[in-house]
Amino acid sequence: MIRWLIALLLLASSTSVLALNIQKDNLYPKVELDTSMGKIVVELDRSRAPITVDNFLTYVVRGDYDNTIFHRIIKDFVVQGGGYDPQLKPLPEDKPIFNESGNGLSNALGTIGMARETDPYTATRQFYFNVADNTKLDPSPKRWGYAVFGEVTEGLEVLQKMAQVPTGANAALQWEDVPLSPIILKKATLLPAP
């Protein structure tokens, strides 16, 4: 009996994930990020990064990015978020995804990419914005890159303001470059398809 209940729960949870509307037929979905410093709109590129876009949109539609922080900001480099709540608690992650860094999109100013660890197949929920041209994050014949999957279409000035905030070392995260005053991603919303 318990096995049947477990099987039904697993089926129900997998069905609810399949029921998420991530606009599978839209090659260029848009997401609005409402932050404590202003709004940013990104247009995603499913034609070049379908796995990465679907992964990101799954977190967006489930509300998993709501009330998270931008926890790493390096002036003239990146603004990174999506993985921690305002108390610096790491948030649950889905399984890592395939690295789509060889898709022809470059880590140019105003693009969005997936953060990962050293291993190329460790990207889950954290993302970053390039606040400079960071071609050193692109793949080369000798190394994997970081997968770009879209670009900012509105609110680049918001990112540029974020990139200027004071940062410092944080003992809890054991990182440098953590904003001294939290920058909150209040809500991420998948915008209606055109």
Are the CB atoms for 85 and 69 separated by under 8 Å? yes
pLDDT band at 174 (very low <50, low <70, confident <90, very high): confident
Residue 52's nearest CA partner among 153, 124, 117 is: 124
Position 191 pLDDT exceeds 70: yes
Question: Over pLDDT 90: what percentage of the chain?
Answer: 87
Residue 32's nearest CA partner among 177, 143, 185, 140 is: 185
Are the CB atoms for 102 and 87 separated by under 8 Å? no
Instruction: Specify the pLDDT at position 173.
Output: 84
Quote the mean pLDDT of the chain: 92
Q: Are strands 148-154 and 127-130 parallel, antiparallel or unpaired?
A: unpaired
Instruction: Specify the pLDDT at position 22.
Output: 98
Cα 130 to chain center, whole Å? 12
Instruction: Specify the pLDDT at position 18.
Output: 54
- What confidence tens digit (pLDDT) does each residue in 15-38 have? 444 579 999 999 999 999 999 999
- What confidence tens digit (pLDDT) does each residue in 97-109 have? 999 999 999 999 9
Instruction: Specify the pLDDT at position 57.
Output: 98
Question: Over pLDDT 70: what percentage of the chain?
Answer: 91
User: How is residue 97 written in tokens?
Assistant: 């995804």
- What confidence tens digit (pLDDT) does each residue in 89-134 have? 999 999 999 999 999 999 999 999 999 999 999 999 999 999 999 9
Residue 46's alpha-carbon distances to 68, 100, 103, 147, in angstroms, are 24, 11, 11, 12
Residue 64 burial (10 A CB sphere; 0-12, 13-18, 19+):
middle
Are the CB atoms for 134 and 107 separated by under 8 Å? yes
C-alpha span between 13 and 104 (Å, rounded): 35
- What confidence tens digit (pLDDT) does each residue in 50-69 have? 999 999 999 999 999 999 99
Query: What is the model's pTM?
Result: 0.89
